[in-house]
């Protein structure tokens, strides 16, 4: 099964301007919801919840720590969600333990646990994180 993607060079129905990157985790989740819906994945399923959590974590980290989103792509092919998020910081994600002064540190381990595969690639303009999430 292959469905249309939603990326920096394509757009999802209802979006005002083609080619626009999501500006928030909510906007990215809306795009992934549309891709999942088109692929026949129930949006009330655990699979969809996992996909949306991974989307939120990666997009939020790109915005907070990576200098902003430079690439967003969500495709379904062969019963997997292929999700790619790029940002402007070449530093790779690193696990950390939250503290009282600096809470957090749970997102990256969640992404690694929920995705079947996670691949991080650096390039001169930042990095891209590619994930594969099984939909069946």
Per-residue pLDDT of the chain (136 residues; tens, 9 = 90+): 444 444 443 333 333 334 589 999 999 999 999 999 999 999 999 999 999 999 999 999 999 999 999 999 999 999 999 999 999 999 999 877 777 787 777 889 999 999 999 999 999 999 999 999 999 8
Question: Cα separations (Å) of 10 from 6, 13, 42, 91?
Answer: 5, 10, 23, 27
Q: Give the C-alpha separation, 74 to 132, whole Å.
A: 10
Angular region, 54: left φ>0, alpha ψ -120 to 50, beta rest:
alpha
- Cα distance between residue 105 and residue 88, in whole Å: 20
Q: Sign (positive/negative) of CA torsion 93, 66, 117, 50? A: positive
């Amino acid at each position: 099964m292959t469905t249309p993607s939603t990326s920096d060079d394509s757009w999802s129905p209802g979006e005002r301007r083609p080619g626009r990157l999501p500006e928030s985790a909510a906007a990215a989740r809306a795009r992934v919801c549309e891709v999942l819906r088109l692929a026949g994945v129930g949006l009330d399923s655990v699979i969809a919840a996992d996909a949306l959590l991974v989307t939120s974590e990666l997009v939020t980290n790109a915005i907070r720590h990576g200098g902003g989103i430079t690439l967003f792509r969500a495709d379904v092919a062969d019963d997997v969600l292929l999700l790619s998020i790029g940002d402007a910081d070449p530093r790779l994600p690193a696990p950390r333990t939250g503290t009282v002064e600096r809470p957090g540190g749970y997102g990256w381990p969640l992404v690694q646990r929920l995705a079947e595969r996670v691949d991080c690639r650096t390039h001169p303009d930042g990095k891209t994180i590619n994930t594969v999430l099984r939909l069946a």
